[in-house]
Structure 1
Amino acid sequence: MLNDNRIRIIIGHYGSGKTEFSVNYAMKLAEEGQKVALGDLDVVNPYFRSREKQDILEEKGIRVIGSSLGMKSGVDLPAVSASVLAPIQDKSYNLVLDVGGDSVGARALARYHASFKEGNYDMFCVINANRPGTQTVEDAIDHIKGIEAASRTKVTGIINNTHLLRDTTVDDVLRGQKLAIKVSEELSIPIKYVSAIEKVARQLPKDMAGQIFPIKMYMREDWM
């Protein structure tokens, strides 16, 4: 069970895997029988946007909110539909918000900050220790603080999603966990999830800080 607050905001650097996690998280909520909406607020990165998987998500009953232009992909314009406000306000929804990968992208979230009250939202920062920008404790903390300042919203949890796509090993995840633990201790923010592709997740120690979260690779085709 995913026992987080009703609104889940997912942030993370480019290449961290935040969109893959967001899609998997929304899918998991739907499998648990929840009423789910996925809001794509990533107006910066033109690749691997969650709204590109709209058909798959809607087959699971997930409401997808993306570009105000009404297009799933192929148009790189910084436009977010105003309809994202509906599931923010409608308490019947479990909402997942996939937010742009840096402080500039996080500004798209700032317009809604008044709706995020302590206890009704979580903001999780996805950390991949293999990606520039979050390879050190100092860089990861700077990244978190930059997004907090731009979004006017506080990070409440850390996700260790250290990966090398399909070549990810248990050692990769464990190395990322060491980084996540240090960031967690420095900022007094808990590690909420340890995310890994299914074959690796099955091999991880069961006593790790954070809930082990197996993911499927929806955002990359088999040849990628």
Structure 2
Amino acid sequence: MADLGFIAPDWVQALQEQDSLLKSLASLLAARSAAGEQILPAPEVMFRALSLPLSEVKVLIIGQDPYPTPGHPNGLAFAANKQVRPLPRSLSNIYKELQADLGIAPVPHPDLSPWLSQGVLLLNQVLSVTAGDAGSHQNLGWSPIVQSILKALNELPHPPVALLWGKHAQKLSQALPNAEQLHSAHPSPLSASRGFFGSKPFSNINRLLSEKGQKPIDWSLPKA
């Protein structure tokens, strides 16, 4: 995968123990696709989150699985392709909290790649999904791979600040004992009013980064 530009080279070593599982998953997904199943996102962006080098990760934001709508998922948790309208509802709530927290006005698009370029790893717990069927690949075998990713992050000299939204993400808390962690409700419409709004995740992340002597994240996004 690194040879094809799918992931940064320093992730290869971190995922070496999962090499056979990764090959097995690739074969399974290819076979299902050949049989007519529409699998999202496209293979070339499925591992896009890991294009951010392991050594440069400062913040970890954990999502669940890719958006199941064709044309939406782009390999980054909570993000979508720039032309997608309307915004995914969870992301719309993230933008609302960003404005309440830091005064940054919402942008009309769902492209979060500027965050990735600053060291924010936007990682889903499951990296694929069947179009139109949310959560359909949860039992496909992604869990050991994600656990290896978290292990590598936890063992960094400066583990990232981990933002764990909702119980689904918070189940992974024990895999990151060395990381500063922020917990709150999930930004989805079903739970955002139960502790996500008002949690000030962005200013709290920047405070923790500053305390570690690291440069804070510029959470603003270009309007177009």
Q: When the two structures are superposed, what TM-score results if normalisation uses the length of structure 1?
A: 0.31
Flag the structure with larger Rg.
2
- The TM-score, its normalising length taken from structure 2, stands at 0.31
Structure ranking higher in strand proportion: 1
